[in-house]
Amino acid sequence: MAADSYWSRMTTARLRRRRLLQAGAGTAAGALALSLIGCGGGDGEDDATSLVSKPVDTTDKAVKGGTYPGHITGNIVQFNTERQGADATAANHGYSRIVKFKSIKYPEPRLSVVEGDAVTGWEVSGDGLTYTFKMRPNQKLDPRPPTSGRLLTSQDVKFSWDRFARINAYRTSLAHASDPSAPVMSVEAPDNNTFVMKLAYPYAGLLPQFCFTRHVVILPVEADDKFKTGEEMRGSGAWRLKEYVPSARIVYEPNPDWYDHGKMLLGQKSLPILSEYSALLAQFRTGAIATMTVNAEDVLSTKRDLPELTMIADEEHSQGGSNIRFGFLPESPFHDVRLRQAISLLMDRDLLIDTFYNSQQFADAGLETSRRWHTVIPAGYDDWWLDPQDEKAFGANARYYKHDPAEAKKLVSAATGGNPVETNWIWTANGYGPDFQRLAEVLHQMWEESGSFKLTTVNPDYTSEWDPKYNRNQGRYSGLALGSAGSGTPDVDGQIVARLQGGHARTGHVAANGKLDQTLEKFVADQRKEADFNKRQSIIYEMQRYCAKEMYYLMEAGESLGFSLAWPWLGNFRVYRAGTGGAASTEIEPFYWIDESERKA
């Protein structure tokens, strides 16, 4: 679809919607809500919210042994955490982490509480520089060769850490050997039941960061050369790999030797590989898949067609998302801060959120949802995010997040003498899915309609060009690019370092003098080393105010919360939750169960 026609349609629809609301007219979404209410047998405005269920604990009537029908969207390259997010998700089924997030039962507040996984506990030295961990006893590795059921030891932890520090794509977040600003100096194993971690400085985010699915999973030392990590797993985690057929399916079965196996209610997970959203939605609607992330614009219509579906309100904003980056080669126009600011001022954040999160349709249906704008910190980091719509708290630089085309035009005119900026708009068309492509098209039109920018679209191939030349090339390109920030990290430091600290794969910003901005570098370093929560929060708040003016990097506009759908035969759906960035396969899914009596009915 052409960017201009899509954007014109969305803008016209928004204006029409506003006029209808002003005139007191109904909307399509309202009509849809009424049809849903009719199906539910209620009346009155309150019935819109009755569409939404609360999580219900049904463990007391659970029957063990059912097969959970899920899905994945692509093939697994390696069953480890070293490159792709999908690989890491798979690896966390079969391998333990050092620590994990505690499962929090609804309605208790969803908190990121750390507890042992491969370890039972740890001690921290008085200066915060030494962590001594004790291994959980009698953890058996996979009974198949080459591990043959031997016990997991601290030597496996050391092997896995050294491997992470050497080749993992996220190694610079933690490994001092890969980045001198990172905290972990070394991991040593004085005996089979103990390992010691030495830090360069006290690091408040250490334990949450080791819960992250993209960081360290504990591979056996045999993973070096004794089995194929692209085809097999030989771990000590909650699941064992039963079958993997590329482009077809992946099947897991519970690990009877897992220390928490008694909590496991499922008998198997069967995950067909479905890359196309339309095919996935079709399978979900037939009941072949228990739950899936339904696009916001499809939630109400799906619920209307299948009123028996469970619909639950989402709880937390995202800690990741797409992001806009500026190239900083010498010829790039975005060395001029005024042009970076203009890019932000031309973004109508509320319209983008309405467009991509369906928030207005939910509101028209009587379903209010929380809406937030991202800063350089994604809005899901509740303790660290500073609301740019709260001008009193944020300060004067909040103005750079407002939609202000007139001010943007003034800035561009002052920078160029009145000429539009001609530059490249770079995004991959084969890496992140259709919503990503729609966002790229809408942003293109939003920036061009002001007359201040003329953008030439460049669509590099994801593998051969986008990843090495743009995504992980330290800003060495001219123009601006749209990338993905993934799902975020359990501690905000991971997001800050990966996106804002100079010298990393996805950063490349420089100050007006052509060198790294030392003010920003100091903010990043100071928050990493500050152990006091309130002091660290103040540093991160001030960093957001500073970045709002400098605009080296922008997150996508923001988001509004939506709703999740599942078939009612999926027991304990959304009852157990855990910290963001953890592994659902270990922290949530063991509590699922399949109510076959409900399914057959």
Where do the structural domains in the chain lie, given as residue ranges? 66-278+563-594, 322-560
pLDDT at 36: 56
pLDDT at 44 over 70: no
Q: Which residue has the higher pLDDT, 364 or 10?
A: 364
Of the listed ranges 122-136, 228-242, 509-523, 534-548, the least confidently predicted one is: 509-523
3-state SS, residue 565: strand
Q: Which residue has the higher pLDDT, 190 or 503?
A: 190
Residue 155 structure tokens: 């030597």
Whole-model pTM: value is: 0.85
Q: Please state the three-class secondary structure of 480-506 as a single string.
A: EEEEECCCCCCCHHHHHHHHHCCCCCC
pLDDT at 512: 75
pLDDT at 326: 95
Could you tell me the pLDDT band of residue 92, with boundaries at 50, 70 and 90?
very high
pLDDT at 230: 87
List, for residues 488-499, the tens digit of each pLDDT value: 789 999 899 888
- Residue indicated by tokens 């509480």: 113
The percent of residues above 90 in pLDDT, for the chain, comes to 77
pLDDT at 79: 93
Instruction: Tell me what the pLDDT averaged over the chain comes to.
Output: 90
List, for residues 294-324, the tens digit of each pLDDT value: 999 999 999 999 999 999 999 999 998 899 9
Calculate ∠ Cα 85-90-91, nearest 5°.
95
pLDDT at 463 over 90: no
Average of pLDDT values for 328-343? 95
**How far is Cα 471 from Cα 463, in angstroms, rounded to an integer?**
10
List, for residues 259-300, the tens digit of each pLDDT value: 999 999 999 999 999 989 999 999 999 999 999 999 999 999
pLDDT at 600: 72
For residues 490-523, one letter each, b for 16 or more C-beta atoms within 10 angstroms of the residue's C-beta and e for the rest, the string is: bbbbbbbbbbbbbebebbbbebeeeebbeebbeb
Report the CATH fold assignment for 322-560: Dipeptide-binding Protein; domain 3 (3.10.105)
Of the listed ranges 20-24, 81-85, 121-125, 452-456, the least confidently predicted one is: 20-24
Measure CA 274 to chain center.
20
Residue 191 structure tokens: 């005996």
List, for residues 101-136, the tens digit of each pLDDT value: 999 999 999 888 999 999 999 999 999 999 999 999
pLDDT at 18 over 50: no
pLDDT at 5: 42
96 and 237 Cβ atoms separated by less than 8 Å: yes
pLDDT at 4 over 60: no
Residue 208 structure tokens: 């949450």
pLDDT at 270: 98
pLDDT at 214 over 80: yes
pLDDT at 47: 59
Residue 518 structure tokens: 């030392």
pLDDT at 35: 54
Report phi then psi at 89, rounded to 5: -60, -45
pLDDT at 332: 93
CATH of 66-278+563-594, one of 3.40.50.2300, 3.40.190.10, 3.90.550.10, 3.30.300.130: 3.40.190.10
266 and 572 Cβ atoms separated by less than 8 Å: no
pLDDT at 83: 80
**Which positions ≥6 away from 476 have C-beta within 8 Å?**
327, 328, 329, 469, 508
